[in-house]
Amino acid sequence: MNIPSSMPPGVAFLSGQFTAENGIKKITRCGDLSGVFYDRAAWQAIPVDTPVYRVEMLRSPQGEGELFVGITHLQPGRVGDEFYMTRGHFHQRREQGEVYFGLRGTGLLLLQNEQGVARLEQISPGSVHIIPGFTAHRLINTGSEVLSALAVWPSVAGHDYAALAHGFALRVIEQDGKIQAKEVQHG
Ligand code: PA5
Ligand code: NI
């Protein structure tokens, strides 16, 4: 090509990874997820350094109006009968939304509003998920391979994990060989 242009970062669809290697990477291990899975004994039986998910982020500007782009790679597996999942969060700036895009693997996106009403969207390669403002979100890997999803969100959004200290209103488990969603009664 003979016009001035540059090569942007890319996603390798087969591996679900960014092609650029100089991003920011964070691994979340089983030991980091205290209180996230309901079966505490099953959680304690898993070595603390077992990786559950990995996030890679592009280096991009921060500030009002700027966007972050990241890919989450969530391992397949279960703690007891509950599928591996991300911690999940509201945005600190509640009005800020986010878009998720399925890259590889299969699972569920758990969404929950501030009134505690939860719903699930199926995530698979190519699925597009619009997460509105005021909506908490968590990825759940119900498949047998790594679930990778690309996310785009405002850099000012921030993460609020504390607001969900008691967890989401739905848990996704395997029961009788089937994937089931169970409502949680908070006491
Ligand atoms: O911005 C997002 O919603 C994602 O990049 C998540 O931060 C990522 O999936 C990890 O999940 P959590 O932040 O809930 O640990
Ligand atoms: Ni988010």
- pLDDT digits 0-9 by tens, 113-137: 999 999 999 999 999 999 999 999 9
Closest C-alpha to ligand 1, atom 13: 88
| pLDDT (tens digit per residue) in 82-119 | 999 999 999 999 999 999 999 999 999 999 999 999 99
Three-state SS string over 53-84 comes to: EEEEECCCCCCCCCEEEEEEEECCCEECCEEC
Indicate whether 177 pLDDT > 80: yes
What pLDDT is recorded for position 32?
Answer: 98
149 CA: nearest ligand 1 atom: 9
CATH of region 11-183: 2.60.120.10
Name the residues around ion ligand 2, CB cutoff 5 A. Answer: 98
Domain ranges, ordered by start, for the chain: 11-183
Report, as an integer, the average pLDDT of 5-31.
92
Indicate whether 148 pLDDT > 90: yes
3-class SS at 147? strand
Q: Distance, CA 5 to ligand 1 centroid (Å)?
A: 32
- Does ligand 1 come within 6 angstroms of the Cβ of 153? yes
Indicate whether 187 pLDDT > 70: no
Dist. CA 33–CA 137, nearest whole Å: 16
Write down the pTM of the prediction.
0.96
Strands 147-154 and 67-74: antiparallel
Indicate whether 7 pLDDT > 60: yes
- Does ligand 1 come within 6 angstroms of the Cβ of 154? no
